[in-house]
Amino acid sequence: MNNKTIPHMPSPPKPFYTRIKTWLVLAVVIAIYAWAFSGIPFTGIKQTAWQITKAVFNGLFHPDWNYVYLAEGEDLLRGLAETFAIALFGTTISVFLTIPFAIWASRNLIRTRLFSGASTFTLSLIRTFPDIIMAIIFIKAVGPGAFAGVLTIGINSIGMLGKLNSEAIEDLDMGPSEALKACGANRLQTIWYAIVPQAIPSYLSFALFRLEINVRSAAILGMVGAGGIGTPLLFALEGRTWSRVGVILLGIIVLVTIIDWISGKLRRRLVQGKA
């Protein structure tokens, strides 16, 4: 088989219009980026930017350790404790408030399309609503402080939790529900005996996942006055006390890392079905 002649090379299967399409997409992308860059003033950087950067790093590497604990209060530890408290309490509230939404949004439990659709819409509206704006509204109601943060997180988390849980319910094995129906159980009994036990592991896992997000959220809600470590952080930034900014940043990093670690471990156990 010593065939020396070069066989006819097939040309790549790219018809004319596909190539045109590729070029068009590319042109659109380039245009979008040109437009995006035109909006950001790269030239107007503060003259002092470099100095401040150095100062920030200096502060990060020489944190104000005294701030960690102050006898008279308003220190880092108490700020972090409050941040965690806001996240935990807020998450707990949302975990309970989510239940009706999750059930109403599940298409396998609710036959009336209009009803489940309305719930899905409400959930996506809540998800879209920025938490900071919600915090501002709650501050108007209960005044500035941690409670406003709790309410914000409690309501704002419903959007995501409701969506995740209703999707999880839609994926459940409906066999047990059928069995319960065949036993003469009514709607509520069916949900309680066949859906709830199956849904609990993912329900808890989502709650933990949301707790991780909410700790981060609670850390910044203070910037608009809704309690937690955000308020002293904003003061430190405005007052250019970089060593204090440094210690607060470290505090947030440590808190978030610990919560992520614990929550991740618990979630892994839930997935394995040990709990």
Q: Which of residues 54-93 bind another protein (CB under 8 A)?
A: 56, 81-82, 84-86, 88-89, 92
Q: Which is nearer to another protein, 20 or 142 (CB)?
A: 142
CA atoms within 13 Å, Cβ hemisphere of 74: 7
Q: Is 30 in the site for another protein (CB under 8 A)?
A: no
* DSSP 8-state code for residue 48: T
197: part of which helix (H) or strand (E)? Answer: helix 196-221
Nearer to another protein, 171 or 178 (CB): 178
Instruction: Note whether 265 binds another protein by CB under 8 A.
Output: no
Which among 7-15, 30-38, 109-117, 162-170 is the span making contact with another protein, rule CB under 8 A? 30-38
Sign of CA dihedral 137, 143, 98, 187: negative
* Comparison of 99 and 132: residue with beta carbon closer to another protein: 132
Q: Is 239 exposed, middle or buried (0-12, 13-18, 19+ CB in 10 A)?
A: exposed
Q: What are the residue ranges of helices labelled H in 222-241?
A: 230-238
Query: Which residue has tokens 């995006």?
Result: 36
Site string for another protein, 189-218 (x = CB under 8 A): x--xxx--xx-xx--------------xx-
Q: Determine which residue in the list 8, 141, 272, 274 makes contact with another protein, applying CB under 8 A.
A: 141
Among positions 220-259, residues that touch another protein (CB under 8 A) are 220, 223-224, 227, 230, 233-234, 237-238, 240, 245, 249, 252-253, 256-257
Nearest to another protein of 74, 178 (CB atom)? 178
Q: Please report how close the Cβ of residue 5 comes to another protein at its closest, in angstroms.
A: 27
For the four alpha carbons of 222, 213, 205 and 170, in that order, the dihedral sign comes to: positive
Please, which residue, 90 or 119, has the CB nearer to another protein?
90
- Write down the least CB distance from residue 12 to another protein, Å: 16
150 binds another protein (CB under 8 A): yes
Give the type of residue at 93.
Answer: I
Q: Rule CB under 8 A: choose which of 16, 17, 42, 61 binds another protein.
A: 42
Residue pointed to by tokens 């509204």: 137
| Residue 237 Cβ vs another protein, minimum distance, rounded to whole Å | 5
Q: How far is CA 252 from the centre of its chain?
A: 16
What's the one-letter identity of residue 88? Answer: L
Distance CA 180, CA 152 (A): 39
